[in-house]
A and B are shown apart, each in its own frame.
Chain A
Amino acid sequence: MKTQNQKAWFFVLPVLVLVAFNALIPMMTVVNYSVQETFGDNLFFWEGLGWFEQILRSDRFHAALGRQFMFTGLILLIEIPLGVIIALSMPRSGFWVSICLVTMALPMLIPWNVVGAMWNIFTLPDIGLLGYLMNTTLGINYDMTQSPFAAWATIITMDVWHWTSLVVLLSYAGLVSIPDAYYQAAKIDGASPWKVFRYVQLPKMKQVLTIAILLRFMDSFNIYTEPFVLTGGGPGNSTTLLSIDLVKIALGQFDLGPAAAMSLIYFAITLLVSWLFYTLMTKDDQK
Chain B
Amino acid sequence: MAKITLSNLKHSYMANPKTAEDYALKEIDLDWEDGGAYALLGPSGCGKSTLLNIISGLLSPSEGRVLFDNRDVTNLPPDQRNIAQVFQFPVIYDTMTVYDNLAFPLRNRGVTEDRVASRVAEIAEMLEVTDMLTTRAAGLSPDNKQKISMGRGLVRDDVNVVMFDEPLTVIDPHLKWKLRSKLKELHQRVQATMIYVTHDQTEALTFADQVVVMQDGEIVQIGTPVELFERPQHTFVGHFIGSPGMNILPTEMRDGRAYLGSHEIPLEGPTAVTGAAQIGIRPEFVQIAEQGIPATVKRVTDVGRHSVIESLVGEASIKAITQGTVPEAGSPIHLSFQKSQTRLYKDGWIASEASA
Contact = CB atoms under 8 A, between A and B. Distances in A.
Contacts of B108: 189-192, 195
Interface residue tally on B, bucketed by range? 20 to 34
A188 B88 contact: no
B87 interface: yes
Contacts of A182: 91
- Which of B87, B88, B139 counts the most chain A CB atoms within 10 A? B87
Nearest to B109: A190
B95 A184 contact: no
B105 A189 contact: yes
Interface residues of A, number: 18
A182 B149 CA distance: 11
A182 to B, nearest CB: 5
Looking at chain B's contact residues, the main secondary structure is mixed
B94 A203 contact: yes
A200 B56 contact: no
A196 to B, nearest CB: 10
Contacts, number: 53
B140 to A, nearest CB: 12
Contacts of A284: 136
B106 to A, nearest CB: 9
Interface in A181-218: 181-182, 184-185, 187-192, 195, 199-200, 203-204
B93 A181 contact: no
A158 to B, nearest CB: 35
B77 A181 contact: no
A187 B87 contact: no
Contacts of A191: 104, 108
A203 B93 contact: yes
Contacts of B139: 287
A14 interface: no
A252 interface: no
B226 interface: no
Contact of A179 (B83, B84, B89): B89
A179 B93 CA distance: 13
A188 B56 contact: yes
Contacts of A189: 79, 104-105, 108, 152
B96 interface: yes
B89 A188 contact: no
A77 to B, nearest CB: 23
A179 to B, nearest CB: 7
Given A188-B83, A188-B84, A199-B95, A181 B89 contact: yes
Interface string B52-95: 00001010000000000000000001110001110111010111
Contacts of B87: 181, 184-185
A165 to B, nearest CB: 27
Nearest to B93: A199
Contact of A184 (B85, B104, B105, B152): B85
- Which of A187, A189, A287 counts the most chain B CB atoms within 10 A? A189
Contacts of A187: 58, 77-79
Interface in B115-144: 136, 139
Contacts of A181: 87-89, 91
Given A189-B108, A191-B104, A184 B96 contact: no
- Which of A184, A203, A287 counts the most chain B CB atoms within 10 A? A184
Contacts of A192: 108
B136 A190 contact: no
A188 B85 contact: yes
14 contacts: A181-B88, A182-B91, A184-B56, A185-B85, A187-B78, A188-B85, A189-B152, A190-B108, A190-B109, A192-B108, A195-B108, A199-B104, A287-B136, A287-B139
Cβ-closest 9 pairs across A and B: A190-B108, A185-B91, A181-B87, A189-B105, A190-B79, A199-B93, A203-B95, A188-B78, A203-B94
Given A184-B85, A185-B149, A203-B94, 5 more contacts: A185-B91, A188-B79, A192-B108, A199-B96, A284-B136
